[in-house]
Structure 1
Amino acid sequence: MSSRSQFIPLLSIIGATMLMASAGVFIKLAAVPAPLMSWFRTAVPLVALTIFYLLSGHRRLGKPSALILLGSFLNAVRLLLLFAGYLFTSVSNGIMILYSWPVFATLFGALFLKERIPLRNRFLLLLAFAGIGIVYSQSGFEIESRDFIGMSMLLISSALYSLTVIVFKAASVRYDQIATTFYQNLIPALLFTPALFFWPFPTGASLAYASLYAVLIGLVAFLLFFTALKHLPASVTAHLSYLEVFGALALSVLVLGETLSWNKLVGGAMILLSVLFVSRGNQNKGGEDQKTEADI
């Protein structure tokens, strides 16, 4: 791919990353129960895309495959844990834990795709998990601690996200980015619709933040992300997505007034360094197909 043809996909992944960096701040400001926030996050984009398909008669959605429906279901569970986790712990804690997803992708690659993990990468994975432990250490490993509960939810959400990336990357061969985004939101929107009958509908600022979050992150960010994923190697998207961590940390301090403890800084640095070197090691193994499969 020429440098000119890569320009728009590169801008797309950078824009998606910056929008995703604001996710934790929107969740905190909205302060909406996790099932209801999950509905907002998926139903608003789904309605917008449904209207788009109805008005665009020449566009075809395509029959959903079992693979893309599986990815949509995993996304539903991931989102519920994501929103619940952020309600229990800080944004700065959350982004450090969530960014361990490439570590899980490497492990799942070995488990499901029978990829070999070199000895060097095994040490790097241990480094990443040590970093996660250091981030956890600020809560004293007390199971009843709100931070411990929140970070544990986000850790599981991170692992599920690594699976959804693999699933949607495989499914993107058959669907364009608009159809992929539609199906990504389909199952969660249906599953979380009953939440409208169990919790009061948000009003005022909560409604504004929840709606803005749904549009910017649930629709715009993922359209940009899938646009980039279809045209760029997964290794490139993984490296540029590091910007999300720094953007989220900056917003947590500037907007929410959070403090960055040594646990977060040291543990987060260990996670990021591990992910970075694992990704670079995978790139050196061979052709582009190998890099793409390993990095996601």
Structure 2
Amino acid sequence: MKKAIYAVILCALIAGNNGILIKYLSSLSTGAIAFFRTMVPVLFLTPILFSKTNPIFSGNYKKMLLASAINVVRIYLYLVAFIFTSIGNAVVLFYSWPIFVFIFETFYFRKSLKKNQVALLLLAFSGLIITYSNKSFSFENKDIIGMVAAVLSAIFYAITVLMFKSESNNYSQQQIIIYQNLVGAFFFIPFLFFIPDVSLDQLGVGVFYGFLIGIVVFKLFFNGLKYLEASTASSLMYLEVVSAMVLGYFILDEKVTLNTLIGGALIIVSSYFITRMDAKKR
């Protein structure tokens, strides 16, 4: 379905704002940023949480709560990765998650192996590596901790994507978003006590960050995930890297290098052919 493809592409393009918003909130603790990211979606969707006509705690809710708990671990590892290692290390290793989605979907769910899709997925990952190849990449003791955390975060994220995909026909998109954030919203509450004086601007950006990334982005992603194979939707998310680079250039005045152009081009080409493959199947 073309609408599902467009939903994931739009999701990836909007998700490129993630780094800019986090950079603005960087004076806050990582736990406080995670609190905004998880609690805001739950607060905005509170009516869904207490709906009597379509109760959220029905069906396979234990599996959904487990996925929510795994997502807390994923977020924590994601933050650890960016604390202990360089941005280049963390981004490249975390964005191995679409590869893990493909591996798990192929072997655990016994999906047929599509050689063309494997090649395009590896092409997108190669573009990511080229993009960040001019960033520092080291193997010091501190870096190893961050790099292991990034890979584990990628694995856990891939697991949650497949878990939510398996229940996408049983819950609405809003309900899945609540489940994704529910455990984290309460887990990160203690970090509020470590927040320094927050300006009204930061508070507003924090709420906007939680709404844009936590609700808008994942509503689009789960909408596409419902109709697409998890590996297809995950592969298209590499466009987030391209979006982040473009926004970084226009908003943060970051330099565009040859690596950036080549890597971005490979990601765009890969995404284009992935959408063409999916369109032909339908």
What TM bracket, shorter-length normalisation? 0.7 to 0.9
**Segment of structure 1 superposing worse, 102-111 or 181-190:** 102-111
RMSD value over aligned CA atoms?
A: 4.0
How big is the shift at 1:168? 0.6
Partner of 2:10: 15
Q: Give the alignment partner of residue 180 of structure 2, picking from 180, 184, 198.
A: 184
How big is the shift at 1:95? 5.1
1:226 correspondence with 2:209: no
Change (3 A) 1:251 1:86: farther
Partner of 1:139: 136
Partner of 1:39: 35
**Segment of structure 1 superposing worse, 58-67 or 44-53:** 58-67
Distance 2:118 2:215 in 1: 36
How big is the shift at 1:123? 7.9
Secondary structure at the counterpart of residue 207 of structure 1: helix
Deviations 1:273-295 (A, max 9, x none): 78888x69x97xxx89xxxxxxx
Q: Give the alignment partner of residue 214 of structure 1, picking from 205, 210, 213.
A: 210
1:164 correspondence with 2:152: no
Map 1:231-250; keep pairs closer than 5 Å. Answer: 231-234=227-230, 237-238=233-234, 240-250=236-246
Change (3 A) 1:53 1:119: closer
Is the CA contact 1:96–1:268 (under 8 Å) kept in the aligned structure 2?
A: no
Distance 1:30 1:228 in 2: 29
Partner of 1:254: 250
Gap runs ≥5 in structure 2: none
1:58 correspondence with 2:53: yes
Deviations 1:153-208 (A, max 9, x none): 44433332211111110121321111111111111112111111233363333322
**Segment of structure 1 superposing worse, 194-203 or 209-218:** 194-203
Secondary structure at the counterpart of residue 60 of structure 1: coil
How big is the shift at 1:216? 0.8
Q: TM-score, normalising length from structure 1? A: 0.73
Change (3 A) 1:166 1:234: closer
How many residues of Structure 1 are paired with residues of Structure 2 in the alignment?
A: 278
Gap runs ≥5 in structure 1: 1-5, 289-296
Secondary structure at the counterpart of residue 188 of structure 2: helix
Change (3 A) 1:124 1:240: closer
Distance 2:46 2:108 in 1: 34
Amino acid of the structure 2 residue aligned with 1:216: L
How big is the shift at 1:112? 3.8
1:106 correspondence with 2:102: yes
Amino acid of the structure 1 residue aligned with 2:17: S
Is the CA contact 2:64–2:164 (under 8 Å) kept in the aligned structure 1?
A: yes
Is the CA contact 1:97–1:132 (under 8 Å) kept in the aligned structure 2?
A: no
Map 1:20-99; keep pairs closer than 5 Å. Answer: 20-31=15-26, 32-54=28-50, 57-63=52-58, 65-86=61-82, 89-90=86-87, 96-99=92-95
**Segment of structure 1 superposing worse, 113-122 or 97-106:** 113-122
Q: TM-score, normalising length from structure 2? A: 0.76
How big is the shift at 1:214? 0.1
Is the CA contact 1:9–1:231 (under 8 Å) kept in the aligned structure 2?
A: yes
Distance 1:268 1:150 in 2: 25
How big is the shift at 1:100? 2.7
